Amino acid sequence: MSTPKISFIGGGNMARSLIGGLIADGTDPGRIHVAEPDAQRREALHGQFGVSVHADNADALSGSAAVVLAVKPQIMAGVARQLAPLIAGQPPLIISIAAGVREPDISRWLGGEVAVVRTMPNTPSLVQSGATALYANARVSEAQRELAETILRAVGLVVWVADEALLDAVTALSGSGPAYYFLVMEAMEAAGRALGLPADTARLLTLQTAFGAAKMALESEESPGVLRERVTSPGGTTERALGVLRDGGLEALFQQALSAARDRAGELGDALGDEA
C-alpha cells in the first residue's frame, strides 16, 4: 500500500522536526508536501529533506490524507478559514499542533463536519524525544487515529486523552514541563559551582545526572517514588538533601505551579477562541 500524502501548513521548527522524524521512519519524502510563505525556508526544507514545497496552501493540499496545521496559534483562525473552501466535500484529517487552540474552534473555522485531532507536543520533539498528547473529535476514524499517531510518534512518545479539557493539564505537565527541568538543572549547576566545582564540571555532572535519572525511570517498571527510596540510604547524604527540599515545600510548589499553568492554558484557550 502506498504511503498516504501528508501536507504541512507552515514549515517552522516543529514541522521540520516532524518531517525529519517521518523520513527517518521510512516515509517517502515525495509524499510530504509543505506550504510555507517564506522562500528561504521553502528552499531549506526541500534541500534538507527532498520534500515538495509550495508557496500556496492550495497547491500543498490536493489529495492529502492528513493536513498538519503547524502555524502560530494567533493566526490559526485566519489560516483555517482560508482552508475551509479548499477542503470542502472530501475533507482530509486535520491535525493541529498549535498550542491552546481548541478543537471546536478549529472545526468551526474549517466549516464544520471535519475530522480533527488536536495535539499538545513539547519542545523535546525538536530532538525526537518529545511527549505528545492527542485528542480526536467524533469524526475521526480508527484509521485516521492511527495515521495521526504515526505522524506524532515520529518525534517521541504519544498518548491519547478522551476529554479535550485534559489537554490543559497536559500543557501544564509536559507542555511546560521541560522548562521546570531546565530550572532544576540551572539551580543544581549553580549550587555545584557554589560548592567549589569548576563551571564546566558542574554543568556536565548536572546534565548527565538528569539524563541518567530519566533513563533509569523510563527503563524501570518501578515508580519514581520507589526508585527514589532505593537510592536514599537512611542517615545518608541523599536523605538529608531530600529533607531540605521537602521542608521547603517542594511538592506543594509543584502542585501550585502546575495548577497555575493549567489555569493559564484555559484562559489562553478562551482568548484564542473569542478573538477569532
Residues 152 and 19 in one domain: yes
Residues 111 and 219 in one domain: no
Distance, in Å, from the CA atom of 255 to the CA atom of 108, rounded to the nearest integer, reads 34
pLDDT tens readout for residues 118-162: 999 999 999 999 999 999 999 999 999 999 999 999 999 999 999
Which has the closest alpha carbon to 10: 64, 63, 53, 66?
Answer: 53
pTM: 0.91
- The number of domains in the chain is 2
Indicate the residue among 143, 165, 187 that finishes a domain: 165
Indicate the residue among 165, 197, 217 that finishes a domain: 165
Residues 37 and 107 in one domain: yes
CATH number, domain at 191?
Answer: 1.10.3730.10
- Give residue 89's pLDDT: 84
Burial 64-91 (b: 16+ CB within 10 A, else e): bebbbbbbebeebbebbeebeebbeeeb
pLDDT tens readout for residues 42-59: 999 999 999 999 999 999
- Give residue 275's pLDDT: 57
Intervals of the chain under pLDDT 70: 1-2, 274-276
- Give residue 2's pLDDT: 65
Query: Domain range for residue 191?
Result: 175-262
CA dist 169 to 102, 129, 232, Å? Answer: 14, 20, 30
- Give residue 273's pLDDT: 87
Residue 267 lies in a domain: no
Indicate the residue among 141, 165, 189 that finishes a domain: 165
CA-CA-CA-CA dihedral for 153, 154, 155, 157, to nearest 10: 20
Residues 124 and 199 in one domain: no
Residue 132 lies in a domain: yes
Residue 273 lies in a domain: no
Residues 80 and 116 in one domain: yes
